[in-house]
Amino acid sequence: MTEESFPAWLERTRKQLEAIMPRTVTESIYNGSEVIIALADVQHIEKHPKNSIPGIFVITSHTKWNFDRDLWENAIWISEPEATQFRSAWCRYRSELEADTLEVSNG
């Protein structure tokens, strides 16, 4: 039986802990000037003009689709410039949450 070096043991232990520990994120609540949203509830974001005002609809786990009207009934509307700030916060949250599964491409 060979002895394991300390750096090798440390790396093996780190990987084992990562496998069982939940991933942490810097910020899980977006607290803006118009809205406060739990980022874990966000399913996706849709960019739409609303009364010709630029912004986004935030679709959460609580948003319901209305089949008769063909639209989201209770999506969260965020106007610009806060929409851009929210998208940035949500993308940062998702990248931290999924860092170990994301692939980086140089092309």
* The pLDDT of residue 89 is above 70: yes
pLDDT tens, residue by residue, 30-87: 999 989 999 999 999 998 765 667 889 999 999 999 999 998 999 999 998 999 999 9
The rounded distance, in Å, linking the Cα atoms of 34 and 82 is: 8
Q: Say what the pLDDT of residue 52 is.
A: 67
Nearest CA to 39 among 31, 25, 28?
28
pLDDT tens, residue by residue, 71-84: 899 999 999 899 99
Per-domain residue ranges of the chain:
27-97
